[in-house]
């Protein structure tokens, strides 16, 4: 490698980096239907169905801090964030492989706790642990999981299928995991300053659970099938809403308008955000780790999801050259930038 040319990873960010690193790779196998660039790869299965494959890693000090993350929750979360990618393709998750690298700081009993969480997620989401690798590391803990799923070929939803004027829908509520992280970081600072003070976590159950033990929206895939709605584009909200919307728009070659007043935010998130002097909208747009699904539907499908407590229409796609805008509560249009999580900056989800 030449000494004179060194580009830091921070200056590129994950998405630009993956694109650059993989730009010369060409798919050679007829069985590869879709490779790098969506929530999961799509591989031919039997003509009618496909296999979905997705990989995500959680790294100590980057994605989690063991000072406030119970190992059992961490194991659970590591599985869930991977399954979320399979659901974001409108598929069914069936198997996982788990690779763990752990330093000598972790005794067997620590890995047993981690595996208890992995098992709980496998049981709840009905997936099988079929393999993996357990190795040592020089320092720290890393968990890399590959999730394998299936879907009917015709049911697979890509990021790039959106069309102008289609409705943009998000499931559940957003911003809670990010606020949970702020609470945990605050209590960590308090504890570091004075270890005798007990952490004050009362009343934050919901937002802490969203951060420490998130769930993936397996149920939404089922609901949509029952409602007879096939999204036209979809992604999971692992980074902030702005970043995910940016991905959908880029890949669908569209712009979008979303409305601040429509964004689903739990009351506890709003009040905590205001306590922290953060705008709740910022938590939603630039937070992360919500693991909700963001998708688009045809206008004629609106009646099928109207009033559904799990889904909120937050805006619509627009022509590409009209850009990506948030309309605030005063009616002003604010241009959005993809300020979601950058893997090479501090701690956020994946």
Q: State the Cα–Cα distance between residues 143 and 104, nearest whole angstrom.
A: 15
Hey, which residues between 93 and 132 contact a copy of itself (CB under 8 A)? 94-95, 97-99, 101-102, 104, 106-113, 115, 119, 122, 126-132
CB of 190 to a copy of itself, least distance (A): 23
On whether 292 is known to bind a ligand per the annotation, the reply is no
CB of 25 to a copy of itself, least distance (A): 5
The answer to whether the CB of 162 falls within 8 A of the CB of 248 is: yes
The contact mask relative to a copy of itself for 316-345 (x = CB under 8 A, - = no) is: ---------------------------xx-
Residue in 159, 225, 216, 227 with CA at minimum distance from that of residue 350: 216
Q: Which is nearer to a copy of itself, 51 or 241 (CB)?
A: 51
Of these, 90, 146, 233, 296, which contacts a copy of itself (CB under 8 A)?
146
Q: Which residues contact 214 (CB under 8 A, 6 or more apart)?
A: 77, 80, 81, 177, 289, 290, 291
Hey, which residues between 231 and 260 contact a copy of itself (CB under 8 A)? none
On whether 39 is known to bind a ligand per the annotation, the reply is yes
Strands 311-318, 255-259: pairing is: antiparallel
Of these, 78, 79, 142, 283, which contacts a copy of itself (CB under 8 A)?
142
Contact flag: residue 194 with a copy of itself (CB under 8 A):
no
The answer to whether the CB of 113 falls within 8 A of the CB of 70 is: yes
Contact flag: residue 66 with a copy of itself (CB under 8 A):
no
The answer to whether the CB of 295 falls within 8 A of the CB of 169 is: yes
Residue in 18, 40, 16 with CA at minimum distance from that of residue 238: 40
Q: Site for a copy of itself (CB under 8 A): how many residues?
A: 85
Contact flag: residue 188 with a copy of itself (CB under 8 A):
no
Hey, which residues between 18 and 47 contact a copy of itself (CB under 8 A)? 18, 20-22, 24-25, 27-29, 31-32, 34-36, 40-41, 43, 45-47
Q: What is the DSSP letter of 298?
A: -
Q: State the Cα–Cα distance between residues 17 and 189, nearest whole angstrom.
A: 33
Binding site feature residues for Mg(2+): 39, 54-56, 85, 133, 236, 239
């Amino acid at each position: 490698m030449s000494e004179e040319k060194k580009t830091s990873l921070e200056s590129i960010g994950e998405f630009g980096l993956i694109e650059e690193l993989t730009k010369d790779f060409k798919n050679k196998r007829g069985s590869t239907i879709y490779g790098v660039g969506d929530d999961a790869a799509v591989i031919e299965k039997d003509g009618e169905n496909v296999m979905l494959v997705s990989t995500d890693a959680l790294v100590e000090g980057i994605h989690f801090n063991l000072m406030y993350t119970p190992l059992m929750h961490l194991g659970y979360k590591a599985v869930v964030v991977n399954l979320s990618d399979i659901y974001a393709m409108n598929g069914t998750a069936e198997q996982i492989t788990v690779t763990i690298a752990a330093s000598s700081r972790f005794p067997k009993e620590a890995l047993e706790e981690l595996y208890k969480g992995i098992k709980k997620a496998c049981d709840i989401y009905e997936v099988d642990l079929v393999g993996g690798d357990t190795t040592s590391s020089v320092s720290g803990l890393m968990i890399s999981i590959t999730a394998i799923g299936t879907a009917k070929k015709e049911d697979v939803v890509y990021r790039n299928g959106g069309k102008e004027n289609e409705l943009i829908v998000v499931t559940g509520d957003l911003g809670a995991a990010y606020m949970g992280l702020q609470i945990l970081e605050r209590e960590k600072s308090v504890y570091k300053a004075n270890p005798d003070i007990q952490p004050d976590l009362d009343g934050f159950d919901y937002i802490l659970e969203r951060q420490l033990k998130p769930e993936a929206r397996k149920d939404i895939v089922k609901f949509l099938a029952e409602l007879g709605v096939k999204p036209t584009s979809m992604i999971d909200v692992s980074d902030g809403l702005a970043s995910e919307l940016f991905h959908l728009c880029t890949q669908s070659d569209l712009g979008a308008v979303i409305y601040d007043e429509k964004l689903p935010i739990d009351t506890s998130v709003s009040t905590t955000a205001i306590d922290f002097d953060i705008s709740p909208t910022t938590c939603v747009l630039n937070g992360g780790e919500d693991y909700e699904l963001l998708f688009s539907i045809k206008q004629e499908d609106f009646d099928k999801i109207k009033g559904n407590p799990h889904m909120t229409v937050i805006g619509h796609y627009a022509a590409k050259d009209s850009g990506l805008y948030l309309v605030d509560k005063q009616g002003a249009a604010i241009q959005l930038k993809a300020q979601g999580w950058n893997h090479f900056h501090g701690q956020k989800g994946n």
